[in-house]
Amino acid sequence: MFNSTVRRGFVLLASVSLALSSCGRTPASAAPNLSALAAAGEPVINELYYDSPSTDVGTFIELKGPAGASLSGYTLAAFDTAGTQYRTITLSGTIPASGYFVVAQDTTVASRTLVNVGADLNNGSGSLRLLKSTTIIDAVAYGTPSSNRGEGSPAPTTGAGSALARVPDGSDTNANSVDFKVQVSTPGAANGGGTGGGGTTGKKVLFDLTKAEDAGNADWRIDGAYSDYANALRALGYTVSSLTGTSITSTSLSGASVLVIPEPQNPFSDAERAAIQSFVQNGGGVFMITDHRVSDRNNNGWDSPEVFNGWDGSTPASVGSTLQASLNSDVIFGLGASFNSSFSDPVYTATPVTTHPILSGVSSAGVYVGTSVDVLTGTALMGTGGKTYLAVNNVGSGRVAMWGDSSTFGDNTYSDGSTGTYNNWPNLSNAAMGKNIVRWLAKDL
């Protein structure tokens, strides 16, 4: 996984030419309208898989065109986010009978036509052009490049483990944001079913709002401090909505793939705990986001570590038996918000303690006043000072994750239009981690 800075210093194998003068590079300018540049019957860039989980293997670039058409004289030119060309791939051979020509980074890619290490493109943002001599035949930009070398507005970025593909297959309206969607990779086969800035892939993510997650100075709503988090998930193709009302039931969880519970302020009843446990046992994913002790936003005697672990016997003075266990996350899921390691220091930096798909692209994440995670069963993923701040577990047919701080995934805009201090989302490590957690819970990573 190389960023653009590293790539410019990377010594490529002989099969990849870096000589810009020989690749038909066009002048650095605004994104062109290519409608008049590509003649009828020319191939198009049909799919990009540039960010695989963990170490980048199996990445590819797919072209779609007339079967038997020669690609002699064609090249692919890759540009970084600033519009600087960093790679040329020289094409050869003909388009197979399937109509798909797959340039693979390595031999792990199915239905590959040509192997060239240059097919491992920049993650995040960039552009790619298909050239015939010096004529631009097709182009795509993705993410938020500062200099767009594609067609129209850029397509969304994918995140590790998903591809960017034309949907419907081969469609070309000369607008990358319209033509390209995020989907499961399909080298050498038809695209379909992906989404771009919205829509559905059949995977629904629910953010809980039944437990006063927006009480007091918290605002963990998808139209508030978690709006950037929700939008990032939508860009990956998920349907994101709030779970509202006063309780969580099996009916309200029906059809969902992931339930996110960010710093709950009210306890779970026995019936709610049973519904959540059944949801996970039957294949759902739950993301528990906690905070520090004494973070009681609505002054009812419950802070989020208690809501996840159960009443600690202090305040409120007495609790009915149906609420005492609350979620009981340490017992039913093997992960608990620690009662013994809650802190009020402004920032800890958690770093990976093992390898895992969730940690793809993540070097560190800030913990902005929170609590560590007790791992009874499962896997500790990130921590510092001998304490865990991110852990996961497989439970039944489902998965669970717990993170020790709510503000990590928040921006600084509240649902009432005011601003606050939760401006940590622009930290790219935290953004990658948040998306990867949901994708892993949804079994898409």
Tokens at residue 443, please? 């079994």
pLDDT of residue 378: 97
- Residue 246: how many other CB atoms lie within 10 Å: 8
Backbone φ and ψ for 356, nearest 5 degrees, come out as -165, 150
Alpha-carbon distances of 45 from 92, 182, 223, 363, rounded to whole Å: 15, 15, 36, 32
Q: What is the CATH number of the domain that holds 351?
A: 3.40.50.880
Whether residue 375 is found in the same domain as residue 430: yes
Q: Is 420 within a domain?
A: yes
Helix (H/G/I), strand (E/B), else coil: 367: strand
Domain-ending residue, one of 125, 148, 183: 183
Of 148, 183, 218, which residue is a domain's last? Answer: 183
Q: Is residue 261 part of a domain?
A: yes
Domain annotation covers residue 194: no
* Dist. CA 154–CA 169, nearest whole Å: 18
**CA-wise closest residue to 15 among 99, 102, 103, 83:** 103
Q: Which residues contact 150 (CB under 8 A, 6 or more apart)?
A: 31, 127, 128, 129, 139, 140, 141, 142, 176
- Residue 18 belongs to some domain of the structure: yes
Please check whether residue 380 lies inside any domain of the structure: yes
Position 420 scores a pLDDT of 62
Q: Which of 149, 183, 217 is a domain's end point?
A: 183
Two tokens at 436?
């990867």
Residues 162, 265 share a domain: no
Contact indicator for 214, 221 with CB cutoff of 8 Å:
yes
Q: At 143, which CATH number?
A: 2.60.40.1260
Domain range for 281 is 204-441
The pLDDT of residue 290: 94
Residue 188 lies in a domain: no
- Long-range pairs for 375-381 at CB < 8 Å and ≥24 separation? 375/334, 375/335, 376/330, 376/334, 376/335, 376/336, 377/334, 378/333, 378/334, 378/335, 379/354, 380/353, 380/354, 381/352, 381/353, 381/354, 381/356
Residue 426 lies in a domain: yes
Q: According to the 3-state scheme, what is the secondary structure of 382-396?
A: EEECCEEEEEEEEEC
Rounded to 5°, angle at Cα 221 from 253 and 393: 50
Q: Which tokens hold the place of 266?
A: 């009210």
> Is 190 a domain residue?
no
Domain count, the chain: 2
Quickly count: other Cβ atoms within 10 Å of residue 19's Cβ: 8
Closest CA to 85 of 114, 42, 132, 121: 121
Dig out the tokens for 387 from the structure: 């304490």
CA max distance for the chain: 79
Please identify every stretch of the chain with a pLDDT value under 50, giving residue numbers as ranges.
1-38, 194-200, 423-429
Kindly state whether residues 57 and 175 are assigned to the same domain: yes
Query: How are beta strands 258-262 and 239-243 bridged, if at all?
Result: unpaired
pTM value is: 0.60
Regarding whether 387 and 242 lie in a shared domain, the answer is yes
113 plus 53 within the same structural domain: yes
What distance in Å separates the CA atoms of residue 163 and residue 302, rounded to the nearest whole number? 43
Give how far Cα 313 sits from Cα of 45, 117, 253, 304, 324, Å. 62, 60, 30, 15, 9
Tens-digit pLDDT profile for residues 265-318:
999 999 999 999 999 999 999 999 999 888 999 999 999 999 999 999 888 989
Q: Do residues 37 and 66 share a domain?
A: yes
Query: DSSP letter string over 185-249?
Result: --TTS---S-BSSS--SS-EEEEE-TT-TTSTT----TTTTTHHHHHHHHHTT-EEEEE-SS---
One domain for residues 229 and 364: yes
